[in-house]
Amino acid sequence: MKSYIAAAIQMTSKPDLDKNLVEAEELIELAVRQGAEIVGLPENFAFLGKESDKIARSVEIANKSDKFLKTMARRFQIHILGGGHPIPVAEDPTKACNTAFLINPDGQELTRYQKVHLFDVDVPDGNTYQESSTVMAGQKLPEVYASPTLGNIGLSICYDVRFPELYRHLSRQNADVLFIPAAFTAFTGKDHWQVLLQARAIENTCYVLAPAQTGNHYERRYTHGHAMIIDPWGTILADAGSQPGIVVAEINPERLLQVRQQMPSLQHRIFA
């Protein structure tokens, strides 16, 4: 593992698939110009609209997203994380899997993760979310991808951040960097987003890269924003605020080692 620049992208994705991909490309190029070698896109980067529309267009979204991620990785010679888009389920046409992909500079898929924790919540602001109505939960916890240059990378998606056992599973596989792409609700995000991200970084002594959605997407669907990069001590290295854009920061193996020596909590676990 070497030091490198990572980027987390913040978008206000809409129900317009092609426009979202154009905007994502512009932000990826901006990140590359700032030296990013790995770029993370948020959950629902390609399409954020009504659940019924997402399912009706899931084949189109999946095909265009797959082509887009591989094209961007090859064009800019970067690793890229597609933070979550629907993959149709053959046995149930009413559902899709919310799936994140890690792609290398050759346009090859390195690993994928299907979101296991689904957001079925009545939020106090009056919005109700029933992700399980259109999403089939993944059946396997994510595996760490061991990159010789970028370190050990663990994937997760949005609501997963509330389940520390998933990240402990990744830390047991020697994760160095945790990706947490999200479309976090505006109401819960203001109270919980930052503290949850910092907790996952601190308790696992890992870097956290959290691409995010922000603003109003359609009707009453609002997201919190504040895409972040956080170091293993829990220090916020970059915060995108509430507007679309990017944040970049250095992922430094020496800092990782320093924190793990100063606070060797992973070595002190009693219940592994």
Q: Which residues are catalytic?
A: 43, 115, 158
Asked whether the beta carbons of 36 and 5 are under 8 A apart, the reply is yes
The sign of the CA dihedral 132, 136, 139, 145 is negative
Whole-angstrom CA distances from 146 to 139, 208, 239 are 22, 16, 27
The sign of the CA dihedral 15, 18, 21, 22 is negative
- CB-hemisphere CA count at 13 Å for 38? 28
Paired strand residues for 87: 97
At 170, is the secondary structure helix, strand, or coil?
helix
The sign of the CA dihedral 87, 92, 94, 95 is negative
Spell out the alpha helix ranges (H) of the chain: 17-33, 51-56, 58-76, 164-171, 186-204, 253-262
The letter for the amino acid at 41 is L
* Angstrom distance (rounded) from CA 183 to CA 43: 6
End-to-end Cα spacing for the chain: 25
